[in-house]
Amino acid sequence: MKKPSFLKRVGHIHFVGIKGVGMTALACCAQDLGIEVSGSDVEEVFVTDKILKQRKIHWKIGFEEKHLKPKPDLVITTGAHGGLANPEVVAAGKLKIPILTQAQALGKFMEGKEGISVCGVGGKTTTSSMIATVLDNARKNPSFAIGVGEINSLGPAGKYDKGKEFITEADEYANSPGIDNRPKFSFQKPKVIVVTNVEYDHPDIYQNLEQTKEVFKKFFQVLPTNGLLVACVDNPNTWDAVKDFQGNLQTYGFSPRADWQIVSSYLGQEQIIFSLSHKKVIIDEIKIKVPGRYNVLNATAAFAVGTFLGLDVKTIKNGLGRFTGTKRRFEFIGETNGVKIYDDYAHHPNEIKEVLMAAQKWFPQNRLIAIFQPHTFSRTKALFNEFARSFSLAKMVVITDIYSSARETDTLGISGKLLAEETRKCHSNVVYKSSGKEVVEFLKNEAKPNDIIMTLGAGNIFQWHKSILEALRV
């Protein structure tokens, strides 16, 4: 299999921060190309540990110069753990080892392929995974690097294959925060861009929603004349960002003005069945095995992309039917004594509302308990009131301490306890529990048969599941 040109003389890549989901995906791609992979990271358990162990990719704990022996041909660094200022990365620079950030490397892995980039706040992972599954099911042998622990239908979230397409997420966050604030997706030059929505999600990088929109608009301009922009017209911010786009634009959504309009959807037995209208043709009986109105939207975006790439209706339907979700996206964790636990990465108010709506419709007869671990002080402060109003569909809400980013040193006068107090103004049943241990003890006494527990957040809340299940068995 032909290597991307930047890897022609590379036999060993060292990944600093290898356990990040985007980093692990790239490590798998490199390994597929026959490149030796090594890495380093913190000791904390990550959702990627399982995949790295399965692939026999070993990593060292901590960040030190000695981890660069034997000397690699290339170092790829995460934007976390100091990014380009990480001591191991700084040491690599002194040793004259070439260095790329994860975002830069991803862009280079895409070179020579027809890139399909999925951007937006919410929906990137699932839409990318759906598109990859559809193309894989069509025997197109796609490459992909998707920021998630695992894709049920595909396995590891990174793969480099012989097909011409490369599917990935496109993130507007900073390349290396505080050092290089260029958007991560600025290093991608795709043929197709999907934008699921545009929201204000990174107050530590962007001043406001308008600045965020401008960054997206600039990204759309990289599309070639034979490319395609696929945009969710239901989101007013997205429409504002794409309405003046001069290239090939196709919109999707429930709105009557959408090029790909969702005209009906209903719940079947553990599936959603929906119909689309496109160019006055009805495409019916499309079935997906994941819940939520938002997943109907994600599947519609995948349908538009698949059609643009020349796939027929039956092939796309079969591919979507094969998709059963990913890690940390409405993921079923387990059941004990009649209590079911699900987990979702939702960390923005709009995402929380959509996930809880999906859970309520999927389980209309069950009591829904939402456990939310806020992620970063900056996001919690900027969207404080929106977070407080996002839990109305849960019967009970548990809010924990904020999981701060390693880059944050200031609490900004905000806390999980303050968020819980604010949420009580909008919801009658809200409790604050500072830690996982307190949450486990609370659920041990509170959870009842037929309850649905939904853990939410982008921090380490997923590490609490084992303890919760064990406590509920007693």
User: Which residues does the annotation place in the binding site?
Assistant: 120-126
Closest CA to 46 of 72, 75, 23: 23
What values do phi and psi take at 44, rounded to 5?
-55, 140
* Helix, strand, coil percent content, the chain, rounded in steps of 5: 35, 25, 40
Which structure tokens are listed for 37? 């992979």
Q: Are 354 and 122 in contact (CB under 8 A)?
A: yes
Closest CA to 448 of 339, 299, 320, 342: 339
**Gap between the terminal Cα atoms of the chain:** 53
What are the distances in angstroms from CA 59 to CA 101, 193, 322? 18, 34, 33
**Which residues are paired to 329 by β-bridges?**
326
Annotated binding residues for ATP, as ranges?
120-126
What is the distance between the alpha carbons of residues 379 and 177, in angstroms, rounded to a whole number? 15
Q: Are 462 and 149 in contact (CB under 8 A)?
A: no
What is the distance between the alpha carbons of residues 230 and 118, in angstroms, rounded to a whole number? 9
Closest CA to 359 of 455, 462, 454: 454
The overall longest dimension of the chain from CA atoms, in Å, is 63
DSSP-based three-state secondary structure for 47: coil
CA 212, 213, 214, 219 dihedral sign is positive
Which structure tokens are listed for 280? 């006055």
Q: Are 386 and 207 in contact (CB under 8 A)?
A: no
DSSP-based three-state secondary structure for 101: strand
Q: Are 464 and 456 in contact (CB under 8 A)?
A: no
Q: Are 393 and 353 in contact (CB under 8 A)?
A: yes
Closest CA to 295 of 120, 154, 130: 130
DSSP-based three-state secondary structure for 87: helix
Which structure tokens are listed for 229? 């922009």
DSSP secondary structure letters along 8-35 = TT--EEEEETTTSHHHHHHHHHHHHTT-
